[in-house]
């Protein structure tokens, strides 16, 4: 019997924070996000709020791309569908922010499943094309004023104060939005971890790695893929709904292909298929972007093209060095420290 900690039951072995040091670190870190609003200026707080919201969106992408292996190029469209349908629910029915965002998630899940239907016959490249079509259809649809009766117009402004449910618990300040986004990010991070450690996530990964043998061994590949589209789509839709409220005025241009690429970069940089990868990837990219914008403003005002250029270069260099993302690099560091100073 090895010395030290060991597991005494299957349930404890499948826990999320399994080791005593992990548990202590987790408990120590837990209050930090809750304390930040008292410590930071509103500008920084706003940046972190966006990080939380994008974490939800990238975790949704991670379910579809990282777990199920489907290359879906409709992230921007999913965010738009979530944002516009939540906004529509808020402006017409006024049930409060949570129910509206929930509906936004559901509508996005349905759209995702519909555009995932071709995965019955095709995969890989063809799914990428089919979902890219959703991107263009969505942009065209929202820009079409004759459909304003459905989507409420390409430019929708949301009230700056909305109750969480009905008129209760009004959300108005950046601090309120910050806490809401924090809870959403934590909740969906937990949901993602649960997917990953239960049969659902295992079937997703099985389908990603070998759809042929999965089918022969009893996995309904098509249904499994659609489930990934639904769950992932729901998460991206919820993020869209929150993002809409966060920015206040919706504009189709904010939900274009560039948003899709940005979220792909975040996930690739952090580590595909890993919850912590998504969190670290989003945080790194958003902070870097913010810093970069400030620097470029100072040294070369108006040179807006520099930002994506520099940014693309950083990411390409990093991925060339560590293709599995930051989380894999950190994993190696952790392994090194764990066995330090005697690696055996």
Partner 1 sequence: MAGTRQTTGLRAGPHVPPERAALGCREVTKTFGAITAVDGVSIGIEDGEWVSIVGPNGAGKTTLLNVLNGFYDPDSTDDPDTGRIFLGGEDVTDAKTHDRARAGLGRTFQGLELYEEEDVIENVMAIRAVREHPGLLSALTYLGPGRQLEAENMRRVEEIIDYLELWEHRHSTVASLPLGIQRRVDLARTLALEPDVVLLDEAMSGLTYDEKYDMFRFLADLNEQEGLTMVMIEHDLEVVTDVSERMIVLHQGSVIARGDPDAVVADPEVRRIYTGVDE
Helix axes 174-197, 31-39, angle to 10 degrees: 160
Candidate segments 9-17, 54-62, 292-300, 305-313, binder of partner 1 by CB under 8 A:
9-17
CA distance 162 to 331: 42
What span, in angstroms and rounded, lies between the C-alpha atoms of 230 and 114? 9
Instruction: Look at residues 32, 55, 46, 56 and name the one whose alpha carbon lies nearest to residue 290.
Output: 46
Determine, following the binding rule CB under 8 A, whether residue 1 of this chain makes contact with partner 1. Answer: no
Cβ distance 106 to 237 under 8 Å?
A: yes
How far apart are CB 124 and partner 1 at their closest, in Å?
17
CB atoms near residue 209 (< 10 Å): 10
Q: Does 157 bind partner 1 (CB under 8 A)?
A: no
Give the nearer residue to partner 1 in terms of CB position, either 223 or 293: 223
CB of 240 to partner 1, least distance (A): 20
* Angle at 195 (CA atoms; ends 193, 200), nearest 5 degrees: 155
**Exactly one of 2, 199, 302, 341 binds partner 1 (CB under 8 A); which one?**
199
Closest contact distance (angstroms) between CB of 132 and partner 1 is 27
217 near partner 1, judged by CB under 8 A: yes
Return the bridge partners of 157, or none: 249
Residue 103-142 contact track with partner 1, rule CB under 8 A, x = bound: ----------------------------------------
Task: Based on the shown chain and the rule CB under 8 A, indicate whether residue 267 belongs to the binding site for partner 1.
Answer: no
Locate 261 and state its tokens: 């690429």
* Cβ at position 4, least distance to partner 1 in Å: 17
DSSP-assigned states of every residue in 215-250 = HHTT--HHHHHHHHHHHHHHHHHHHHHHHHHHHSEE
Catalog residues that contact partner 1 under the rule CB under 8 A: 9-11, 13-14, 191, 194-195, 197-200, 202-203, 205-206, 209-210, 212-221, 227, 231
């Amino acid at each position: 019997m090895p010395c030290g900690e060991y597991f005494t039951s299957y349930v404890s072995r499948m826990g999320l924070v399994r080791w005593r040091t992990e548990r202590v670190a987790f408990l120590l870190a837990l209050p930090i996000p809750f304390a930040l609003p008292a410590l930071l200026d509103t500008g920084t707080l706003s940046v972190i709020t966006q990080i939380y919201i994008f974490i939800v969106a990238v975790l949704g992408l991670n379910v579809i791309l990282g777990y199920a292996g489907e290359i879906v190029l409709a992230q921007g469209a999913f965010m738009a569908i979530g944002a516009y349908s939540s906004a529509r629910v808020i402006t017409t029915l006024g049930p409060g922010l949570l129910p509206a965002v929930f509906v936004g998630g559901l509508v996005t899940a349905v759209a995702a499943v519909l555009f995932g239907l071709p995965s019955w016959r095709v995969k890989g490249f063809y799914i990428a094309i089919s979902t890219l079509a959703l991107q263009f259809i969505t942009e065209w649809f929202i820009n079409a004023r004759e459909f304003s009766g459905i989507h409420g117009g390409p430019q929708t402004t949301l009230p700056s104060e909305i109750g969480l449910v009905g008129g209760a618990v009004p959300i108005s300040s950046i601090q309120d939005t910050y806490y809401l986004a924090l809870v959403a990010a934590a909740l969906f991070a937990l949901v993602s971890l649960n997917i990953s450690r239960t049969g659902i996530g295992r079937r997703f990964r099985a389908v990603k790695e070998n759809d042929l043998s999965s089918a022969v061994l009893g996995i309904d590949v098509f249904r499994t893929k659609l489930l990934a589209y639904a769950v992932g789509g729901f998460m991206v839709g919820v993020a869209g709904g929150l993002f809409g409220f966060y920015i206040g005025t919706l504009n189709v241009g904010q939900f274009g292909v560039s948003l899709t690429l940005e979220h792909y970069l975040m996930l690739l940089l952090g580590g595909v298929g890993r919850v912590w990868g998504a969190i670290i990837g989003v945080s790194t990219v958003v902070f870097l972007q913010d810093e970069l914008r400030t620097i470029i403003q100072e040294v070369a005002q108006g040179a807006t093209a520099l930002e994506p250029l520099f940014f693309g270069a950083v990411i390409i260099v990093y991925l060339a060095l560590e293709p599995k993302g930051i989380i894999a690099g950190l994993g190696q560091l952790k392994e090194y420290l764990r066995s330090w100073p005697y690696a055996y």
